[in-house]
Structure 1
């Protein structure tokens, strides 16, 4: 007796949430270029997260297709960072709701000392989006000329479904004296303005986290002022409400 076997045809749409492979590729490209347009630069690790691919090849493929520029880092960790090429910038601006000055067309304008700082902020933002905790975000360049500019501009602003905003600060080194006082005061003023629902202060150091927690628990903070000789001095003390710490979330971060 002859056995007849039926081969089941695999439909790629079953793995692409109903999208065609072409549309999925377009969306992935748009998402990646928009991300870099808003942040200025990124790394292979972040591009890999954005792509959703298992293979770590998407960044290189966008370089080969002319959308991104790959630049070696001074430290070698990470090995490269990525900025938009002229074609990539034109593509991002064509799809953008708002346009911003993109200074990173010259990759050497990227402050490499801050790469890890910005990448940690990017990874935290991606994960919060991916987990559904936030619906969107605003980077510093997106708010530099808006109402947010009147107060402390965080490293990134996370937006919730109910339109409330969360300020996020990544702190990888300790602040002291005037700089610490100014940091505490400006976050207090930003929260008092009601622009933000609360602030996240993230660091990779337990000691730095403890230092900031103690700073925000003080009953008052110094306000400093610069005189005509360029020297700073304390002019007054500003009371801090005991409820301030309830509007702060301290987060210990790790490299992923």
Structure 2
């Protein structure tokens, strides 16, 4: 009998659901439900439509609403990409962005930004210590500095700061003392199997991988950073504007 197997499956499924609720219904009831849903095809169609809506249509609607929200305030100074960079350099607003990103399932982008800034601080610290060692007359002394301690300090007392404070040559090779942190960053955010892998273009991934395997430079993640900032600007920043517009107009953001 064609409906025998499917009916039994439906029976077992519904029975397990009701048993969890301490209900016990006659098997005839499950048979009636099976017949009413045309052998489970109606239920399957409903589930398929829901999956289609939640995985494709709903993200499109969210994207449309975000763009609409951004365009609504397009001519206001607080909606510019330049202002967004100032938001990214404001610790209270970064926390607001992170909360929004968690709800939007894109928190890896904010984490990427925070850890990218820590890398920049590591480079800046290296430059300071290297210049000190040069003045002493022994550049090798830079390797004696506790970079791991400095790194842990940045993680525990994280504070964002403007990138304008740090100037560096992006083509400078990654110092041996900092290579571990660059490799860790790669495996966390760039590697597709990383715990916080970000959604960046294939060409950028290829560029980073090529540098990692041949000649890693301190600026090899810069293109990825630009893409991540653009994504956050287009997706979660409009939500921040909508939720905190009055507060943001009154907040003095450090230039």
The interval holding the TM-score normalised by the smaller chain is under 0.3
* Larger radius of gyration between Structure 1 and Structure 2: 2
Instruction: Choose between structure 1 and 2: higher strand proportion.
Output: 1
Instruction: Choose between structure 1 and 2: higher helix proportion.
Output: 2
Q: TM-score, normalised by structure 1?
A: 0.23
RCO (CA 8 Å, sep 6+): is it higher in 1 or 2? 2
Q: TM-score, normalised by structure 2?
A: 0.23
